[in-house]
Chains A and B, each alone.
Chain A
Amino acid sequence: MPMKTGTQYIESLKKLKPKVYCFGEKVESVVDYPLFKPHIHAAAMTYELAHKPEFQEIMTATSHLIGERVNRFTHIHQSTEDLVKKVRMMRLLGQRTGTCFQRCVGLDALNGIYVTSYDIDQKYGSEYHERFKDFLRYVQQNDLMSAGAMSDPKGDRSLRPHEQEDPDVYLRVVERQSDGIIVRGAKAHITGSINSHEIITMPTRAMGPEDKDYALSFSVPVDTEGITLIFGRQTNDTRRLESELDAGNPKYGIVGGEALIIFNDVFVPWERVFMCGEHEFALELVETFAGYHRSNYGGCKVGLADVVIGASAWIAESNGIERASNIRNTLTEMVNLAETCWSCALACSYEGYQTPSGAYTINPLLANVEKLNITRFTYEWMRLAQDIAGGIIITLPSERDYEHPEIGKYIDKYFKGKKGFSTLDRIRMYRLIENMAVGAGLPEAMQGAGSPTAMKIMIGRGANIDRKKDLAKVIAGIDEDPYFKGIAQVKEDKAKAKV
């Protein structure tokens, strides 16, 4: 069975030697570096839960390529039911990790490239799709984690890629050879990249003919020569190096763990190139990938909401105020917000459709509505969690003070709540809320999978305002109402506005 366990995933990372920097030093072993461990644990859960019978229906699927049961994170969606199971998987993992488990970006890259490479081949008679299917078989058979790398650094945002003063601020081809291409540039903010096996790149925006060297998609192992990863900081990240209690979510961390990936004249063999110069398909790939990715957020972030709602309710109980009407109202509002986003996630999946490649994709309008709601509602339910928890989440003394032989007893005494709740457990829960509601997870919900503006553009494009105007003109009596004639039994020429 081609599915790794969590432990096997972590062991497989040890065989890779990526060039990673963090805090100004080169990381010798990604797996053993303390700052990275929670991120690796969160990603490992995507492997581990696939082996649990209670999650198998959601976490696994049967591959249409290799005919075997595979981890759903490597699966190409074959039906709307697959799309629904995908968002169910996201919610499940959000609940079980309380953070970003990183692997969905690669899943969405696999599906986005599957769809687009097929369309490129239909136009040009190229071989990208077959190459990609070979790569996909390899990914499925080895249960690989792929980092989906889309965002270029972008430089001056008012200029197109080929107009930039520094041509490397968008990843590009610098040389085409008989056996492959040489690429140079960077991808920024790439989730899970230090602990992935492969990096799959995609263009980040629409491209014109002059940008053809930037219309590029390929995959390379993370430790390919010429690749350097610089890990990004997060709020309170070094707490996990100091103590367990203060980290809030010591097992799984906070957000996904992002890195700047530098491609310094990296060789990519042709069999790993899935787009190279077909600039008119850059936007299709961006939108297809982004649609899949935005549809995930009503799953994973709602899973996180489940955790933070539970934490808020527990804190209220430990304070003895769980029956207060304002607390119950606040918790109800948090659930309402979260389930609204979940409804969007289900809706865009059930309303998905088959693409010419055979793969299914989500309803793009609904997926963008979903993600736009996430950019707002996540802040709101986290604000409400702060409201219930109180200011203590930013004033609590440290674990070292709590364990101090002289002053620890005061913390234990004065931060005690209702009988039956230990101070230690209360501190754990407050720290969890601090981790989730105050930290880097908030801007991640805002900017991950694209900014709110990107969603509004897509919503505007799919809104079909002209049809809405037509509907209004009929109801207002400006245009003929073809169906009203039947029920009102009026002559055709009178069916317009006169009732």
Chain B
Amino acid sequence: MRIAVKYCGNCNPEINSPRIIGQWMETLKDDEITFGPEGKTPADLLIIICGCRKGCVDRQEVRAMGRQVILIKGRWMGGLSLAENELGHQLIQRVESMRGALRRNAK
């Protein structure tokens, strides 16, 4: 799966975004990971991870770089407010859930 990760820039973050992404990346095997919305074709999955609830990088042109999007804004993910140490685990679960859905769709 081609997965793109877009950081917000982390000017004054509430969370340690690189650590959360690093925790998630340790669980990956064969995925192709890129950072930043680069390339001409959208990634299968785009993870937008913002250091705070402002979510300043959550913009239309950024979202267009992924067929599916997971958005983390500070401690908010999927409409839930989580503890920081839960975010990595939640991210792993959501990516795996989307991977499953993609496989089902491909069949």
Q: Does A71 contact B (CB under 8 A)?
A: no
Nearest residue (CB) in B for A353 is: B53
Q: Does B38 contact A (CB under 8 A)?
A: no
Out of B13, B54, B79, name the residue touching A353 (CB < 8 Å): B54
Q: Which residues of A contact B54 (CB under 8 A)?
A: 351-353, 363
Nearest residue (CB) in B for A355 is: B53
Q: Which residues of A contact B55 (CB under 8 A)?
A: 353-354
Task: Given the known inter-chain contacts A122-B79, A363-B54, please indicate yes or no for A353 contacting B14, CB distance below 8 A.
Answer: no
Q: Does A395 contact B (CB under 8 A)?
A: no
The interface residues of chain A, by DSSP majority, are classed as loop
Which residues of B are interface residues toward A (Cβ below 8 A)? 13-14, 16, 52-55, 73, 79
Q: Are A356 and B53 in contact (CB under 8 A)?
A: no
Q: How far is the CA of A467 from the CA of B52 in the complex (A)?
A: 13
Q: Does A464 contact B (CB under 8 A)?
A: yes
Q: How many A-B residue pairs have CB under 8 A?
A: 16
Q: Which residues of A contact B52 (CB under 8 A)?
A: 353
Out of A354, A363, A467, name the residue touching B13 (CB < 8 Å): A467
Please tell me the number of chain A residues within 8 Å of chain B, measured between CB atoms: 9
Q: Which residues of B contact A351 (CB under 8 A)?
A: 54
Q: Which residues of B contact A356 (CB under 8 A)?
A: 79
Nearest residue (CB) in A for B13 is: A467
B74 → chain A, closest Cβ, in Å?
A: 9
A287 → chain B, closest Cβ, in Å?
A: 12
Closest A-B pairs by Cβ, 5 of them: A353-B53, A356-B79, A353-B54, A351-B54, A353-B55
Nearest residue (CB) in B for A122 is: B79
Q: How far is the CA of A363 from the CA of B12 in the complex (A)?
A: 13
Nearest residue (CB) in A for B53 is: A353
A-B contact pairs, 16 of them (CB 8 A): A122-B79, A351-B54, A352-B54, A353-B52, A353-B53, A353-B54, A353-B55, A353-B73, A354-B55, A356-B79, A363-B53, A363-B54, A464-B14, A467-B13, A467-B14, A467-B16
Q: How far is the CA of A353 from the CA of B75 in the complex (A)?
A: 13
Q: How far is the CA of A356 from the CA of B16 in the complex (A)?
A: 23
Q: Which residues of B contact A467 (CB under 8 A)?
A: 13-14, 16
Nearest residue (CB) in B for A482 is: B18
Q: How far is the CA of A91 from the CA of B13 in the complex (A)?
A: 30
Q: Which residues of A contact B79 (CB under 8 A)?
A: 122, 356
Interface string of A443-481 (1 = CB under 8 A from B): 000000000000000000000100100000000000000
Q: Which residues of A contact B16 (CB under 8 A)?
A: 467
Nearest residue (CB) in B for A350 is: B54
A465 → chain B, closest Cβ, in Å?
A: 12
Q: How far is the CA of A55 from the CA of B79 in the complex (A)?
A: 36
Q: Which residues of B contact A352 (CB under 8 A)?
A: 54
Q: How far is the CA of A353 from the CA of B72 in the complex (A)?
A: 13
Q: How far is the CA of A352 from the CA of B73 in the complex (A)?
A: 12
Q: Which residues of B contact A363 (CB under 8 A)?
A: 53-54
Beyond known contacts A352-B54, A353-B73, A467-B13: 5 more, CB 8 A cutoff = A353-B54, A353-B55, A356-B79, A363-B54, A464-B14
Q: Which residues of B contact A353 (CB under 8 A)?
A: 52-55, 73
Nearest residue (CB) in B for A363 is: B54
Interface string of A338-372 (1 = CB under 8 A from B): 00000000000001111010000001000000000
- Residue from B14, B54, B55, B79 having most chain A Cβ neighbours under 10 A: B54
Q: Which residues of A contact B53 (CB under 8 A)?
A: 353, 363
Nearest residue (CB) in A for B55 is: A353
Residues 109 to 159 of chain A near chain B (Cβ within 8 Å): 122
- Residue from A122, A352, A354, A363 having most chain B Cβ neighbours under 10 A: A354
B78 → chain A, closest Cβ, in Å?
A: 10
Q: How far is the CA of A122 from the CA of B79 in the complex (A)?
A: 10
- Residue from A353, A363, A467 having most chain B Cβ neighbours under 10 A: A353
Q: How far is the CA of A464 from the CA of B53 in the complex (A)?
A: 14
Nearest residue (CB) in A for B58 is: A354
Q: How far is the CA of A362 from the CA of B73 in the complex (A)?
A: 15
A206 → chain B, closest Cβ, in Å?
A: 16
Residues 48 to 74 of chain A near chain B (Cβ within 8 Å): none
Q: How far is the CA of A137 from the CA of B65 in the complex (A)?
A: 37
A400 → chain B, closest Cβ, in Å?
A: 57
Nearest residue (CB) in B for A361 is: B53
Nearest residue (CB) in B for A352 is: B54
Q: How far is the CA of A460 from the CA of B73 in the complex (A)?
A: 20
A340 → chain B, closest Cβ, in Å?
A: 19
A263 → chain B, closest Cβ, in Å?
A: 33
B91 → chain A, closest Cβ, in Å?
A: 19
B75 → chain A, closest Cβ, in Å?
A: 11
Q: How far is the CA of A352 from the CA of B55 in the complex (A)?
A: 9
Q: How far is the CA of A267 from the CA of B102 in the complex (A)?
A: 54
Nearest residue (CB) in A for B80 is: A356
Q: Which residues of A contact B73 (CB under 8 A)?
A: 353
B81 → chain A, closest Cβ, in Å?
A: 9
Q: How far is the CA of A273 from the CA of B54 in the complex (A)?
A: 31
A482 → chain B, closest Cβ, in Å?
A: 8
Residues 321 to 350 of chain A near chain B (Cβ within 8 Å): none
A124 → chain B, closest Cβ, in Å?
A: 15
A485 → chain B, closest Cβ, in Å?
A: 14
Q: How far is the CA of A122 from the CA of B13 in the complex (A)?
A: 27
Q: How far is the CA of A353 from the CA of B73 in the complex (A)?
A: 10
- Residue from B14, B16, B53, B73 having most chain A Cβ neighbours under 10 A: B53
Q: How far is the CA of A203 from the CA of B14 in the complex (A)?
A: 28
Q: How far is the CA of A464 from the CA of B52 in the complex (A)?
A: 11
B29 → chain A, closest Cβ, in Å?
A: 25
B90 → chain A, closest Cβ, in Å?
A: 16
